[in-house]
Each structure stands twice: as structure tokens, then as C-alpha cells.
Copies of this chain bind each other. A is one copy, B any other.
Amino acid sequence: MTAAPQASAESTAQRRARRATAAPQVATELPAQRRGLRRGSLTKEIIVTESLRLLDEGGTEGFSLPKLGRALGADQTAVYRHFASKDVLVLAIADRLIQEAMDGLEPRDCWVDTLTEMCRRLRETYLAHPAAASMSAYRTTQGPAEIRTVDVIIGAMLGAGFEGGEAARMYRAIGDFALAWAGSEASFLALDQRAQQHDRAAWTQAYLSVSRAEHPNIWQVRTELPEVSDNDIFETLLAVVMAGLRQHAPRPCACHGRATPGPAAALG
């Protein structure tokens, strides 16, 4: 079913002419050139893509349905013809993010590698679209990509030797962990730059100016604290989680606990 007839150009011209003459005597001062969008120029796909672009550029603040409509060159309310409400649009955005993150995810020989890759992918995608992620994290769509990811995770857990209810629990634990972590990092990055910068600076300040007597432990590592990067934190926690999983697992992973090569291997 393709067949997009090109006869629309002429009928568009007809429409324009008609509109010009059909209008009552209301003073038409403007050369009504491009007042409207051609029918069918908006699709769910286009709208979601533009939403993502707007959110990436302007953050959560700059995102509203009126602005989205205008950015598409359409009316403020045009989006409502394709999504019943903003909430439904947000769900579609969530779906797009999951797809983007998990497209092509394949089980690897080592179940730890599989889980590690899943966590890293989700985080990468969320960090690439923090505003979109902060709006749509914790929403679930049961789309094909999501279901497939669930299957891969459970497959890894079964590969680790977990059985039945334990495999189910472990899947939820790791899956929800990945979502929670990526979502919360994205949520922080979705705050306006001022708040973010202020927060980071404030913590550095707080660490460095802490009283030795009152908070001796902070004091002891006060200079190292501001050095820790977000990537450090994520990879550290990921390693901890995977170590814990390996220990719980009835079956060792294929790489026998060798450090998983990853994007943060060079980090201190």
C-alpha cells in the first residue's frame, strides 16, 4: 500500500484560490501564502522525532504541545489529532527511547556481558536524551523492543543458573535497576543548567569546608570527593552489582569474572 498520488499540488492550488475568493469581505491584507500545512504532513513518527529534537535542544521547560505544534510549522493544537493527550505522546517517546537503546541487543556468550551491555545501552540512550528520558522513564509500553529485552535478560538469568521464581526476581532486580539508574541520571541532567551547576558546585564546597570534628569521615576523603565522575560512579556500581550477581549465581559466567571490557575501562 504505497501509492501517494502527486495530484495534490493542483488541488492545493485550487484550495488556495478558493479560500481567497470564498472569504467574506473581511479585509484580507496578508498574502495568504503558507498559512496551513498540507494534509497528511504530520505523522506520529514525525511528531515523536520532533519532540525528541525539541527536548534535546530546549529541555523539559521548552517542551509543550503548543510549541511542538509551532515547531512543526502547524497549529498549536495539531498534535492532538495524532495523540489523544500529552501523556500518550510521552508514552510514544518512551517507546522510541527503548527501541533506540535496545535495537540489536543480542545475548552474548557470557551472561554477565549481556546484562552489562543492557545496562550500559539504556544509560547511554537516556543520557543522550535526558529531558525526554526524565519525562518518560518509569513509563512502560510493552512494545516489541521492551518485550525482547525482557526475554534477553531472563535468558541471561537462566544462563546464570537461576531457576523459576529466582530467575524472575533477578530479572526484575536487574531490569528495574537499569531503568532506575538511567532514569535518575537523566532526571538530574534534565534540570536546568543553573540548578545542575549550582548543585555540583555546592557539593564541592560542602565537602571541602566540612568540619573535621563534626564529619571526620567526609573530611578524610574531602579532596577525592569532587574528583569522582558520573561515569566512575556508574561503572563502579555496575561492577559491584555484577560481582554480587556472580556470587549469587549457581553457575559461573563464561568469562570467569574477568573484568568486562567497557567504555569506561580507562577510568581511574
Contacts and interface: CB of A to CB of B under 8 A. Distances in A.
A169 B225 CA distance: 8
B237 A176 contact: yes
Interface in A217-238: 217-218, 220-221, 224-225, 227-228, 232-233, 236-237
A217 B151 contact: yes
Q: Is the interface of A mostly helix, strand, loop or mixed?
A: helix
Contacts of A164: 221, 224
A202 interface: yes
Number of this chain's copies in the assembly equals 2
Contacts of A199: 140
A228 B174 CA distance: 13
Contact of A154 (B137, B176, B214, B220): B220
Contact of A165 (B155, B224, B241, B248): B224
A187 interface: yes
A167 interface: yes
Contacts of A137: 184, 187
A184 B173 contact: no
Interface of A: 87, 137-138, 140, 142, 147-148, 150-152, 154-155, 158, 164-174, 176-177, 179-181, 183-185, 187-188, 191, 195, 199, 202-203, 206, 210, 214-218, 220-221, 224-225, 227-228, 232-233, 236-237, 239-245, 247-248, 268
